[in-house]
Amino acid sequence: MIMLKRSFIVIFILTFFHVQSQENMENTIYQFKVADIYGKIYDFSQLKGKKVMIVNTASKCGLTYQYKGLQELYNSYSIYGFVIIGFPSNDFLRQEPGSNEEIIEFCEENYGVTFPMMSKITVKGSKKHPIYDYLTKKSKNNYKDSRVTWNFQKYLISREGLIEKIVSPKTNPDSEDIISWITDGE
pLDDT in tens, the chain (186 residues): 565 555 555 455 555 544 444 445 678 999 999 999 999 999 999 999 999 999 999 999 999 999 999 999 999 999 999 999 999 999 999 999 999 999 999 999 999 999 999 999 999 999 999 999 999 999 999 999 999 999 999 999 999 999 999 999 999 999 999 999 999 876
| Dihedral sign of CA atoms 57, 58, 63, 64 in order | positive
CATH number attached to the domain at 32-183: 3.40.30.10
CA 15 centroid distance within chain = 29
Residue spans of the domains in the chain: they are: 32-183
pTM of the model: 0.86
- Which residue numbers are catalytic? 61
Q: Classify strands 41-43 and 163-167 as parallel, antiparallel or unpaired.
A: unpaired
The greatest distance separating any two alpha carbons of the chain, rounded to the nearest whole angstrom, comes to 72
